Amino acid sequence: MSNNIFVTLFLTGVISWILEIRKNDKKKGNRYIIFFCLYQIFSTIICILSKQIIDGYGVFELAGALMGNIIFTEGSILFVFLGVLMYFTKENKKNLATAYILFCIIFFLLASLNNFSIEGLFYENYQWMMIGTLPFMYLYNGKKGKGYKYLFYLFYPIHIVALYWIGNLFF
């Protein structure tokens, strides 16, 4: 896993933007969809070639992040799909909650298909816990918060490093 949610968010925004354009102008939207798909194919080829040229850990992820490739995002194409799904259901909280719960259940079932264990629920297939964010999404009133932007710019990388260290201490 790359721990780079920004590529996932970027692609979610690009795809949502293209689909919004397509709602108003099908011809233009279809051209953008074709261009986006061709770009993804091209960038996938470049990522694969970069791994052949530069042999090292994380080459796919770095090339994919720099090129905005949907295959090499954190969480895979599924989480880009989830972001687009949330964007188009944001106006109706009931639809948002239903779509999010269904996504979480389907994701959990797919991830548990090959290897289900109680221990695995907490150490390997723990993504099901994302359902715990639903109450916070449901309570969101659509207004900007207090403005702790820079606090969270620091919090995100610091908590990732701290959790990595803690994980290495215990496991």
Digit-by-digit pLDDT tens for the chain (171 residues) are 456 788 899 999 999 999 999 999 999 999 999 999 999 999 989 888 887 888 777 676 777 778 888 888 887 888 999 999 999 998 899 999 999 999 988 888 887 777 777 777 777 777 778 888 899 888 888 888 788 888 888 888 898 889 888 888 876
Residue 99 lies in a domain: no
In which domain, by residue range, is 29 found?
1-89
Residue 96 lies in a domain: no
Residue 158 lies in a domain: no
Residue 31 lies in a domain: yes
Confidence (pTM):
0.75
Residue 37 lies in a domain: yes
- State how many domains the chain has: 1
Residue 143 lies in a domain: no
**pLDDT of the residue at 1:** 47
Residue 155 lies in a domain: no
**pLDDT of the residue at 15:** 96
CA 79 → CA 20, 36, 53, 84, distances in Å? 19, 18, 29, 9
Query: 12 CB contacts (<8 Å, ≥6 apart)?
Result: 80, 83, 84, 87
